[in-house]
Chains A and B, each alone.
Chain A
Amino acid sequence: MKLDLKFSDLGLPPMNWFGLVTGGLVLVLPFLGPWWVGTAGTGAMEIALSPFDVAVSLMRQPIQSSLVGLFLLSAKITFVIAGIFMIMASLFPKRWWSKRLFRFGVMKPFWSVVSLLIMLVVGALIFNYVLPSMLSGAFSGAGAGNAVVQINMPYIVGTSVSTIQIGSTATITAPIAFSLTWVFWLAVATGILGIIARIYNRSLAPPEKLMLKQAKKR
């Protein structure tokens, strides 16, 4: 597939304008906040997720993992580097290094969106189908009688109510609400722009063989 759109016809220099915008968005995405927010009750459990930040609090007490924190920092750094590379590659699409730098970051927003969605669906499946039987066993084993745990988690977005019934002595009910933030939709837009920029870049950048020749000459 080749895009016939030529910005040079509009009097603009031969740059990958789609790539330039995508690069800018990739650069700022890590600093815009969570992509997805989940709550149980009003502060009993709060989760704010993005590929760059995970904020989890239980009973208003924040929980942190140093390994997860470092991975998220690494993701942030990767996006900043990818954004800079994409901007450079889009400004100078005919340089020998352009294609490689461009490829480093162009698909990252798209795969981040896909990974987050897969993670949320898998998480909901585990909570809905695996965790209830484990918790029922744990509560029953702890002498809480015949415990029935019923978790109805929405997939990605929505609201629901989950209950834990401990024999005939207690019933615990928690409203659950999941939502995607505007930053997620910006990430989706960045992902789509990235794909367009990648396709458009093929019409701008010289063929790989020529680039290799250029690189060898230097």
Chain B
Amino acid sequence: MRDGALKWGLRLLGIALTIGPLLIALGTHNWDIKAAVLPNENEMKEIEDSVKGIFGGGPSENMFSIGSPTIVGNKLEVPVQFTSPFNIPIKIKDVLASVSDQGVNIAQIQMEENEVEVLARATVNFTMGGTYTGGLPTNPQLSGVDITFEFYGVTVQAHMSGGQGGS
């Protein structure tokens, strides 16, 4: 008799510990299964906001603007301003681009810094340089930009084919 009661008591305890959480979770969410199972909307919205721009439209062509180039020996140096469209901090690891003047490609330039840290939606300046033997370009444009950046240890390599205007 007692053994039977204990046997059933333990079985009921097991069932209560399985079904109980389900009923409590559903009860506290007005019996809405979706609301009980999924994370709350605010948490999801924050994640969506932080990855917007990276997994959404991707890096845009308006992120770069270039300053007045200088020539040092046989090297062309171009100051570049980068405005981050991302809602999270990133590290720019590398930027490669072609410089054109009057519609003609004149040089290949690369970011000279090893790494540039950019805070969320911040603007940073860095220098790009490459071998060049001609005269000072009058209307330099960046085209075919390849950017490699990192956020939270994830590396993104993006290619932009459009031209970015000079100063």
Q: Which residues of A contact B (CB under 8 A)?
A: 40-44, 58-68, 70-71, 73-74, 77-78, 81, 96-97, 100-101, 104, 144, 166, 168-175, 211-212, 215-216, 218
Mark the stretch among B43-51, B63-71, B77-85, B95-103 that contacts chain A: B43-51
The residue in chain B whose Cβ has the minimal distance to the Cβ of A170 is B158
- Chain A neighbourhood of B151, CB < 8 A: 41, 44
Q: Which residues 106-136 in B have Cβ within 8 Å of A in the complex?
A: none
Find out whether the CB atom of B10 lies under 8 angstroms from the CB atom of A175.
no
Which interface class (under 10, 10 to 19, 20 to 34, 35 or more) fits B? Answer: 35 or more
Find out whether the CB atom of B50 lies under 8 angstroms from the CB atom of A61.
yes
Q: Which residues of B contact A (CB under 8 A)?
A: 1-3, 6-7, 10, 13-14, 17-18, 20-22, 24-26, 28-29, 36-40, 43-44, 46-47, 50-51, 54-55, 58-59, 88, 151-160
The residue in chain A whose Cβ has the minimal distance to the Cβ of B160 is A169
Find out whether the CB atom of A218 lies under 8 angstroms from the CB atom of B2.
yes
| C-alpha spacing A155/B93, complex, angstroms | 31
- Chain A neighbourhood of B39, CB < 8 A: 63-65
The answer to whether A40 and B43 touch (CB under 8 A), given A67-B37, A216-B1, is no
| C-alpha spacing A125/B132, complex, angstroms | 52
The answer to whether A170 and B157 touch (CB under 8 A), given A67-B36, A73-B21, A74-B21, is yes
- Chain A neighbourhood of B29, CB < 8 A: 66
A169 to chain B, nearest CB (A): 6
Find out whether the CB atom of A171 lies under 8 angstroms from the CB atom of B157.
yes
Find out whether the CB atom of B50 lies under 8 angstroms from the CB atom of A59.
yes
| C-alpha spacing A73/B20, complex, angstroms | 11
The answer to whether A170 and B159 touch (CB under 8 A), given A71-B21, A100-B7, A100-B10, is yes
The answer to whether A44 and B153 touch (CB under 8 A), given A70-B21, A74-B18, is yes
Find out whether the CB atom of A166 lies under 8 angstroms from the CB atom of B28.
no
The answer to whether A66 and B25 touch (CB under 8 A), given A100-B6, A100-B10, A215-B1, is yes
| C-alpha spacing A142/B55, complex, angstroms | 10
Find out whether the CB atom of A174 lies under 8 angstroms from the CB atom of B153.
yes
The residue in chain B whose Cβ has the minimal distance to the Cβ of A78 is B17
A-B pair number, CB within 8 angstroms: 118
Find out whether the CB atom of A40 lies under 8 angstroms from the CB atom of B21.
no
Instruction: Kindly name the residue among B14, B28, B40, B154 whose own CB sees the greatest number of chain A CB atoms within 10 A.
Output: B154
For the complex of A and B, the 8 pairs showing the least CB-CB separation, nearest first, are: A41-B153, A42-B153, A70-B21, A44-B152, A215-B3, A67-B25, A41-B154, A43-B152
A164 to chain B, nearest CB (A): 8
B113 to chain A, nearest CB (A): 21
Find out whether the CB atom of B3 lies under 8 angstroms from the CB atom of A77.
no
26 intermolecular pairs with C-beta atoms under 8 Å apart: A40-B154, A44-B151, A44-B152, A60-B152, A61-B43, A61-B46, A63-B43, A65-B37, A65-B38, A66-B36, A67-B21, A67-B25, A68-B37, A71-B21, A74-B21, A81-B13, A97-B2, A97-B3, A100-B10, A104-B13, A169-B58, A170-B58, A172-B154, A172-B155, A174-B153, A215-B2
17 further interface pairs, Cβ-Cβ under 8 Å (given A97-B2, A170-B59, A173-B155)? A41-B151, A41-B154, A43-B153, A58-B47, A59-B51, A59-B152, A62-B43, A63-B39, A66-B25, A70-B20, A70-B22, A71-B22, A77-B17, A81-B13, A97-B3, A104-B14, A169-B158
B154 to chain A, nearest CB (A): 4
| C-alpha spacing A181/B167, complex, angstroms | 56
Find out whether the CB atom of A96 lies under 8 angstroms from the CB atom of B158.
no
The residue in chain A whose Cβ has the minimal distance to the Cβ of B155 is A173
Find out whether the CB atom of B153 lies under 8 angstroms from the CB atom of A169.
no
- Chain B neighbourhood of A81, CB < 8 A: 13
